[in-house]
């Protein structure tokens, strides 16, 4: 498929005008290709050759418009750090349109950093190279981990100065998702008592994204339930890989249960339950161990927004399902991380125990879990704490570690798989490679100096994070001791 034959159908732009503002992207004067992801391009049917053409850069920095595309900025509102903000909207992202594919799939093609829109408020409408590289890599890392996410197709760079804490250069990222509707999209119409728009939005989401709910006796209740369950599972998945989103505002919550709007996110290196990385988050509102609760907070506000479409008791009933769905997903995942395929009394305590041990032992979250597959269930090895596990624990944690490992060893006796089988299963859920902050930063530093190869190297590695690649051994390591553990700001 070539660029000029992409088929756009702009279903969202055909909704009432109150849903968006029509606005064209503001291109860069001298754009250049920073990187392109052939896997995401293939979702649109674009060939690697099409991605390398000169016109590719023009299309994905907004200098050339696609035939049939009808660009818009979407309206939404949201709760930000617990406070209601009545109007937000795409302040720097522009939805070029929706591409429909012969296989029936549909992809929103959105340019992030595409210039000012009527929703920009005081913002400049731009994104900086640093932040789009982080989002690009993290979207693809998340996809590699099997966690629902928006996708990243390319980054176009520029020499346009964009002021942040320091002067940086502007860049645009092309993001793909079946839909960019957020919880905040429902909230904006509910808060304005625009029940007709609320209903139109719900109908649109059901028709195009949850078509199997159309025949439910109460489609809106069913929609709320599906979003609730997907959100519960999504947040549980983040907990399993040590991912801190950083800005879980309700406008950053996808109606499809995708990870969206990567800002000051982090994959935890040294395990810290109350980890906060965003330095504007003084109270720890979005700390690692609060994300499951925040998921509930956001679902509560989505349910509240949808109340005009159902009985309040029905909304409450669905809301009540969040906690059990989240806990079930969490414990299923944590059991899998420990290589437990059966469910036994005491499993929850075993999980709590390992997390406590990791906290006390200042363990690297990813490497410690990965190392657990080296534990043998064979009886005469009961006392052995494998060196591979031991090396990730501070010495003061070794006595309590012995106790935990003995319990773990006993528990493994109840499992049907042999050591090799369990190891293979564990290595499919405990990644070896994650997008560590220092790895992303190294790619950013090189890119800012004009070298883009590291971005692609990381993208390829993280697209397959479970399989060991001997030549990439250093990429599996935590940052060197003493390396600056920089806090990340919201600025992007
Ligand atoms: P975020 O925290 O990135 O999800 O952004 C929150 C809101 O601020 C959204 O409505 C964004 O569109 C808007 N925003 C963020 N950065 C900018 C910017 N540089 N220019 C205009 N709007 C922005
Ligand atoms: Mg956002």
Reported confidence tier of residue 203, pLDDT bands at 50, 70, 90 = very high
Q: Is the pLDDT of residue 2 over 90?
A: no
Q: Does residue 76 sit within a domain?
A: yes
Q: If pLDDT is split at 50, 70 and 90, which confidence band does 486 have?
A: low
| pLDDT at 150 (0 to 100) | 98
In the predicted model, is pLDDT for residue 489 greater than 80? no
Q: What angle do CA 56, 60, 64 make, to 5 degrees?
A: 80
Asked, for residue 422, whether it belongs to a domain, the answer is no
**Is the CB of residue 144 below 6 angstroms from any atom belonging to ligand 1?**
no
Write the CA distances from 128 to 33, 111, 361, integer angstroms.
14, 13, 37
Task: Tell me the CA–centroid distance for residue 96 and ligand 1, in Å.
Answer: 18
Question: Is residue 81 in some structural domain?
Answer: yes
pTM of the model: 0.97
User: Which tokens go with 85?
Assistant: 């903000």
For residue 71 and ligand 1, the question of a CB distance below 6 A is answered with: no
Answer whether residue 384 shows pLDDT above 80. Answer: no
The CA distance from 222 to 271, in Å, is 37
* Beta bridge mates, 173: 112, 155
Name the band, by pLDDT with cuts 50, 70 and 90, for residue 491. confident
pLDDT at 396: 94
Number of domains in the chain: 3
Report the alpha-carbon distance of residue 35 to residue 130 in Å, rounded: 13
Helices (H) and strands (E) in the chain, counts: 17, 12
Interatomic CA distance for residues 205 and 188, integer angstroms: 15
* First CA to last CA distance, the chain: 33
Confidence band of 91 (pLDDT split at 50, 70, 90): very high
Nearest CA to ligand 1 atom 15: 91
In angstroms, rounded to a whole number, what is the distance separating the alpha carbons of residues 220 and 318? Answer: 11
Does pLDDT of 407 surpass 80? yes
Query: Within this chain, do residues 44 and 141 fall inside the same structural domain, yes or no?
Result: yes
Ligand nearest to the CA of 127: 1
What domain range is 60 assigned to?
3-180
Active-site position among 70, 108, 251, 261: 251
CA of 490 to the centre of ligand 2 (A): 11
- Whether residue 482 is contained in a domain is answered as no
Q: How confident is the model at residue 385 (pLDDT cuts 50, 70, 90)?
A: confident
**Closest C-alpha to 299, from 281, 274, 320:** 320
Of the listed ranges 139-148, 169-178, 370-379, the least confidently predicted one is 370-379
163 lines ligand 1 (CB under 6 A): no
- The whole-angstrom separation of Cα 38 and Cα 60 is 14
Nearest to 352 by CA among 330, 376, 372: 330
Phi, psi for residue 354 in degrees, rounded to 5: -70, -35
Predicted local distance difference test score (pLDDT) of residue 282: 82
**438 falls within a domain:** no
To the nearest whole number, what is the mean pLDDT of the chain?
96
What are the distances in angstroms from CA 138 to CA 134, 246, 262, 296, 409?
6, 13, 7, 24, 35
Q: Rounding to the nearest 10 degrees, give the CA dihedral for residues 262, 440, 363, 391.
A: 160
| Dist. CA 229–CA 397, nearest whole Å | 37
Structural contact between residues 259 and 252, judged by C-beta atoms closer than 8 angstroms: no
Last residue of a domain, one of 144, 165, 180: 180
The rounded percent of the chain whose pLDDT value lies above 70 is 98
- Please state the atom number of ligand 1 nearest to the C-alpha of residue 252: 4
DSSP state letter for 149: B
Question: What does 312-377 look like in DSSP terms, one character per residue?
Answer: HHHHHHHHTHHHHHHHHHHHHHHHHHTT--S--TTHHHHHHHHHHHHHHTT-BHHHHHHHGGG---
The arithmetic mean of pLDDT across residues 386-398, rounded, is 95
Q: Give the mean pLDDT of 18-31.
A: 98
Residue 454 lies in a domain: no
**pLDDT at site 278:** 77
- Residue reference for tokens 């994650």: 434
Residue with the smallest CA separation from ligand 1 atom 14 is 91
User: Is the model's pLDDT at 355 over the cut of 60?
Assistant: yes
pLDDT at position 210 over 90 = yes
Same domain, 188 and 162: no
Q: Give the mean pLDDT of 238-243.
A: 98
Q: Is the CB of 218 under 6 A from ligand 1?
A: no
- CA nearest ligand 1 atom 11, residue: 91
295 lies in the same domain as 396: no
How far apart CA 451 and CA 437 sit, in angstroms, is 19
What confidence score (pLDDT) does residue 485 get? Answer: 57
Residues 214 and 307 in one domain: yes
How far is the C-alpha of 235 from the C-alpha of 227, rounded, in Å?
12
| DSSP helix/strand/coil, 88 | coil
Burial label for 158, CB within 10 Å (0-12, 13-18, 19+), is buried
Q: What pLDDT does residue 481 have?
A: 78
Confidence of residue 488 (pLDDT cuts 50, 70, 90): low
172 shares its domain with 101: yes
- pLDDT band at residue 366, thresholds of 50, 70 and 90? very high
* 73 and 196 fall within a common domain: no
Q: Reply yes or no on whether the pLDDT at 428 is more than 70.
A: yes
With a pLDDT cut of 90, the percent of the chain lying above it is: 92
User: Are residues 166 and 78 part of one domain?
Assistant: yes
Query: What's the pLDDT at 5?
Result: 87
Do residue 389 and residue 355 come from a single domain?
Answer: yes
- Structural domain includes residue 477: no
CA 29 vs CA 61, 160, 174: distances in Å: 10, 8, 18
pLDDT above 60: residue 310: yes
Q: Are residues 73 and 204 in the same domain?
A: no
Residue 4: pLDDT band by 50, 70, 90 thresholds?
Answer: confident
CB 405 within 8 A of CB 388: no
- 29 part of a folded domain: yes
CA 128 to ligand 1 centroid distance, Å: 12
Tell me how crowded residue 350 is: count the other CB atoms within 10 A of its CB.
19
CA distances from 171 to 73, 124, 134, 145, 224 (A): 18, 13, 12, 26, 36
Residues 230 and 116 in one domain: no
Among 356, 382, 416, identify where a domain stops. Answer: 416
Residues 284-307: pLDDT tens digits? 999 999 999 999 999 999 999 999
Q: Indicate if 31 and 90 belong to the same structural domain.
A: yes
**What pLDDT score was predicted for residue 487?**
57
**pLDDT score of 383 more than 90:** no
Check if 125 has its Cβ closer than 6 Å to any atom of ligand 1: yes
Pocket lining: 88 vs ligand 1, CB cutoff 6 Å: yes
What is the average per-residue pLDDT within 3-30?
96
Tell which atom from ligand 1 comes closest to the C-alpha of 124.
20
The verdict on the CB of residue 90 being under 6 Å from ligand 1 is yes
In contact, 425 and 338? CB cutoff 8 Å: no
To the query of whether residue 251 is one of the catalytic residues in this protein, the response is yes
**What is the predicted pLDDT for the residue at 202?**
98
Q: Are residues 400 and 294 in the same domain?
A: no
């Amino acid at each position: 498929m070539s660029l000029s034959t992409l088929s756009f159908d702009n279903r969202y732009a055909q909704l009432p005008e109150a849903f968006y503002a029509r606005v064209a992207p503001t291109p860069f004067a001298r754009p250049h290709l920073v990187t392109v992801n052939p896997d995401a391009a293939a979702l649109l049917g674009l060939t690697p050759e099409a991605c390398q053409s000169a016109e590719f850069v023009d299309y994905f920095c907004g200098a050339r418009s696609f035939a049939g595309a009808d660009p818009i900025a979407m309206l939404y509102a949201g709760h930000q750090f617990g406070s209601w903000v009545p109007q937000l909207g795409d302040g720097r992202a522009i939805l070029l349109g929706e591409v429909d594919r012969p296989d029936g799939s549909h992809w929103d093609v959105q340019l992030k950093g595409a210039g000012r829109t009527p929703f920009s408020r005081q913002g400049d409408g731009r994104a900086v190279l640093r932040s789009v590289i982080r989002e690009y890599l993290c979207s693809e890392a998340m996809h590699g981990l099997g966690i629902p996410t928006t996708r990243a197709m390319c980054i176009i760079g520029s020499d346009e100065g964009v002021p942040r804490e320091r002067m940086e250069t502007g860049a645009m990222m092309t993001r793909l998702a079946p839909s960019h509707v957020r919880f905040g999209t429902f909230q904006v119409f509910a808060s304005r008592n625009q029940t007709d728009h609320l209903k139109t939005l719900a109908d649109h989401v059901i028709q195009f994204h949850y078509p199997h709910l159309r025949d439910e006796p109460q489609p809106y209740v069913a929609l709320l339930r599906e979003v609730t369950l997907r959100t519960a599972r999504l947040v549980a998945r983040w907990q399993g890989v040590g991912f801190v989103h950083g800005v879980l505002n309700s406008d950053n919550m996808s109606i499809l249960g995708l990870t969206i709007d990567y800002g000051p996110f982090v994959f935890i290196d040294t395990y810290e339950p109350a980890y906060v990385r965003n330095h504007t988050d003084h109270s720890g509102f979005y700390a690692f161990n609060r994300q499951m609760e925040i998921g509930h907070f956001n679902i509560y506000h989505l349910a509240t927004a949808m109340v005009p479409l159902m009985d309040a008791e029905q909304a409450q009933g669905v809301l009540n399902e969040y906690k059990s769905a989240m806990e079930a997903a969490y414990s299923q995942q944590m059991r899998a991380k420990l290589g437990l395929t059966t469910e036994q009394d005491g499993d929850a305590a075993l999980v709590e125990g390992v997390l406590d041990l990791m906290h006390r032992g200042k363990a690297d979250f990813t490497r410690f879990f990965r190392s657990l597959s080296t534990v043998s269930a064979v009886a005469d090895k009961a006392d052995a704490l494998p060196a591979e596990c031991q090396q990730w624990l501070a010495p003061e944690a070794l006595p309590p570690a012995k106790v935990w490992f003995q319990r773990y060893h006993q528990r493994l006796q109840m499992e049907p798989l042999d050591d090799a089988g369990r190891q293979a299963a564990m290595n499919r859920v405990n990644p070896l490679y994650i997008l560590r902050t220092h790895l992303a930063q190294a790619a950013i530093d090189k890119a800012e100096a004009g070298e883009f190869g590291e971005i692609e190297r990381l993208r390829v590695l993280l697209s397959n994070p479970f399989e060991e690649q001997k030549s990439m051994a250093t990429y599996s390591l935590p940052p060197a001791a003493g390396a600056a553990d920089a806090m990340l700001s919201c600025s992007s």
